[in-house]
């Protein structure tokens, strides 16, 4: 008998921490700040990850980096993501995070394709030096009092496929979970995520393996579980402007909010952004991309997005949104 999506949804242990389900929000730079994580949490993901934070910046007590690593009590168990290529600096960061009781899990980024990071040997740049990968993982797991997890990619390019090797290193040193994005660094976010490599990693190690890449709805979530036999899934771009994707996957049927519900979610997100930023104008700037994602596919939304992108006053942004949604019918979608 064929399994349904709900048959794959289950509790999962990451080290000594029990997670209510195995559907996670991925860390995304410039996206997964506290307001967005709070919105996503309303729809039930087992974990939400912070944006990645520089361990080197932590050495200089960067207030911006400290803010990235802040988590709220209502998002426990919590995961912060760090990146770097110096095992000693990573050790110092982890020792610092050990003393923060609001942080439950520490994730190490070994997959970000951003040119600046790769040039410095961070993120996916580490995939060119597996000896350094091993040094970092060995150091991190030896000093951490919290479960260490790792997020990586298929490899650096099609000639340098490293996912299985990295996973085995992780298992060797007691990493509690590994997430595999099924693209190489050179692919960035183009093409199609390779499910075969995630399946190979799952077959190669006994630690929990999380599948990541191209999960945008119930069908793609089921395909990831079914084909790779992964222990959980991680959703990135599929949650942008679509935080209810978690509700869809957890319930096994695609959920589309009414336009009035969509507006309510946007307004709540705006309020969270205002609560999180001392500077209201900064909150407006940060919300622009989120609002554009929320409005994607709605009738005549391009005009409204352009209008909002020229507006710096949050009250005016809210007014524009309310006027726009008042003109919409609940079925007003452009195909």
Q: Return the ∠ at Cα 48 (arms to 20 and 55), rounded to 5°.
A: 130
> How far, in Å, CA of 327 to CA of 335, rounded?
18
* HSE value, Cβ hemisphere, 13 Å, CA-based, for 218: 15
Question: CA-CA distances (angstroms) from residue 122 to 93, 111, 117?
Answer: 15, 8, 5
> How far, in Å, CA of 217 to CA of 275, rounded?
30
Question: CA-CA distances (angstroms) from residue 2 to 8, 10, 129, 216, 248?
Answer: 12, 17, 42, 21, 19
Our answer to whether residue 170 is catalytic in this structure is no
If you write DSSP's letter for every residue of 74-129 in order, what string do you get? GG-S-EEEEE-S-HHHHHHHHHHHHT-TT--EEEEEE----HHHHHTT-GGGGGG-
Tell me what percent of the chain is helix, strand and coil, each rounded to the nearest 5. 50, 15, 35
Q: From start to end of the chain, where are the E strands?
A: 12-14, 17-19, 23-25, 47-54, 79-83, 105-110, 148-157, 160-161, 177-184, 209-212, 232-235
Catalytic center residues: 112
């Amino acid at each position: 008998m064929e399994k349904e999506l709900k048959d794959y949804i289950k509790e999962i242990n990451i080290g000594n921490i029990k997670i209510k389900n195995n559907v996670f929000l991925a860390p995304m730079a410039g996206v997964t700040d506290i307001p967005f994580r709070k919105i996503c949490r309303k729809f039930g993901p087992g974990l939400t990850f912070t944006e990645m934070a520089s361990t080197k910046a932590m050495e200089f007590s960067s207030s911006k980096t400290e803010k990235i690593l802040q988590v709220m009590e209502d998002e426990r168990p919590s995961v912060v993501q760090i990146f770097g290529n110096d095992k000693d600096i990573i050790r110092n960061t982890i020792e610092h995070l050990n003393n923060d009781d609001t942080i439950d899990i520490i994730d190490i980024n070994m997959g970000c394709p951003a040119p600046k990071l790769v040039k410095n040997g961070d993120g996916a740049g580490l995939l060119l030096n597996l000896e350094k990968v091993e040094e970092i993982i060995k150091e991190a797991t030896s000093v951490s009092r919290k479960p260490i997890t790792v997020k990586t990619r298929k490899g650096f390019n099609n000639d340098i496929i490293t996912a299985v090797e990295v996973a085995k290193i992780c298992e060797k040193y007691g990493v509690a979970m590994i997430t595999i994005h099924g693209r190489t660094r050179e692919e960035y976010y183009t093409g199609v995520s390779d499910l075969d490599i995630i399946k190979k990693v799952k077959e190669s190690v006994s630690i929990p393996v999380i599948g990541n890449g191209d999960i945008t709805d119930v069908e793609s979530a089921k395909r990831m579980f079914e084909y790779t036999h992964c222990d959980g899934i991680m959703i990135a771009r599929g949650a942008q402007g679509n935080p209810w994707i978690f509700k869809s996957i957890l319930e096994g049927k695609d959920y589309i909010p009414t336009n009035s519900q969509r507006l309510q979610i946007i307004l709540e997100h705006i309020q969270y952004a205002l609560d999180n930023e001392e500077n209201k104008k900064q909150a407006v700037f940060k919300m622009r991309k989120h609002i554009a994602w929320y409005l994607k596919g709605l009738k005549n939304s391009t005009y409204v997005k352009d209008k909002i992108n020229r507006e710096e006053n949050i009250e005016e942004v809210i007014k524009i949104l309310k006027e726009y949604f008042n003109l919409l019918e609940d079925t007003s979608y452009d195909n």
